[in-house]
Amino acid sequence: MSRPYDELLSRAQTGIQKISTKSSLNRLELPEPQVIWVGKKTILRNYAEFPKLFRRDPDRVLMYLAKELATAASIDGERAIFIGRKDKASFMQLFQKYMQDNVTCPVCGSPDTHIETVSRLHFRVCEACGARSAAKVN
């Protein structure tokens, strides 16, 4: 049996590498999540950077994280506070997934997209190539 997912992944990675050598503007560099634990809470100190980078509503992004981490979360200025101890790697993974599912254009790889909602369906519309593709925003 072939492994189409792996193939897809390596193809996607090759694509990303190509794009990034051509123009660094086409790639979002995710900041490292700054995580601290206070009691049973996790504070993501630089939360605000992520929705800003994605150009998405901070509340929406937080809802996504809370859902994926199966916990409650709230925004406190630049920070986000999560109930329970979550590690940096989980945030990194989720932000990457969010980017892949909701931000990056699957056609040209540009992160310059915005969300359009039509009859309750979400689409990311690419401002670089004009492609419209499904988004999995919650």
Contact set with Zn ion (CB under 5 A)? 105, 107-108, 110, 126, 128-129, 131
Helix (H) or strand (E) holding 132: strand 132-134
Sheet bearing 113-118, strands edge to edge: 113-118, 121-126, 132-134
State in angstroms the smallest separation of the CB of 124 from Zn ion.
9
Minimum CB distance to Zn ion smaller for 30 or for 108: 108
Minimum CB distance to Zn ion smaller for 51 or for 111: 111
State in angstroms the smallest separation of the CB of 15 from Zn ion.
12
The contacts found for 114-123 with CB under 8 angstroms, 24 or more apart, are 114/55, 115/56
d(CA 137, CA 115): 9
State in angstroms the smallest separation of the CB of 107 from Zn ion.
5
Minimum CB distance to Zn ion smaller for 86 or for 124: 124
